[in-house]
Amino acid sequence: MSDHNGLYVGEDGATRCFWGRGDPLYQPYHDDEWGMPVDDDHRLFEKVCLEGFQSGLSWLTILRKRENFRRAFADFDFRKVALFTEADAARLVGDKGIIRHKGKIAATLNNAARAVEMVDEFGSLGAYFWGWEPDAHSRPAVVSWDALRAMSTTDVSKAMAKDLKKRGWKFVGPTTAYAFMQAMGIVNDHIDGCISRDRCEAARASFVRPRQSPIG
């Protein structure tokens, strides 16, 4: 059952964002991952890459192939991926378990090298990405599905995408950047009334933001 705010009540009696229904993979992703704060560099790199692969596709397509992506890209250890060769790129293009898009695969290999550079500069990917967290007072609760859809990009995501492009990253535009921020808990965009909104807010309240480490 759904209502006009984009929420639905599941068989367990819990109220969730409407997009968390449907395929069995969606509910646990909605409940346990989306919006929970993440500071692990491999998971951050994984997500920004998979958001790029999702471009033009559904997130469900990526979820179904996520374990294949992890195997193909060394569990998104960007230091390992940065060492991939042209032979590795050809292998990936032939891997039926992932999205065989030459441009997106090339971007992932490129972005791995850029991630190494970012860690050299900031100490961690977490320090860089969490540096884009908006001020809490600038973000009211998302009260409806229409309101959520209207925020496919923000001024912050546009600025992040512009900065990443300047740093040589590929396939990370403003929409991809914002979807990444939502998924990694840098913002909490569960609709007001969803069981996960308060869970994510509590996790964010206790989360220790990664800070830039002194280099050298």
For the question of residue 59 being annotated catalytic, the response is yes
For the question of residue 26 being annotated catalytic, the response is no
Query: Pick the catalytic residue: 29, 34, 128, 169?
Result: 29
Please name the amino acid found at residue 86: E
Query: Pick the catalytic residue: 34, 46, 51, 128?
Result: 51
Using CA atoms of 128, 173, 194, 5 in order, give the dihedral in degrees to the nearest 10: 150
Measured between alpha carbons, how far apart are the two ends of the chain, in Å? 56
Instruction: Give the 3-state DSSP-derived string for 96-108, with helices as H, strands as E and coil as C.
Output: CCCCCCHHHHHHH
For the question of residue 29 being annotated catalytic, the response is yes
Tell me whether residue 1 is exposed, middle or buried, using C-beta atoms within 10 angstroms of its C-beta: 0 to 12, 13 to 18, 19 or more. exposed
Please give the structure tokens belonging to residue 116: 């190494």
For residue 84, which phi and psi values (nearest 5 degrees)? -60, 145
Query: Pick the catalytic residue: 8, 19, 33, 59?
Result: 59
Catalytic residues: 29, 51, 59
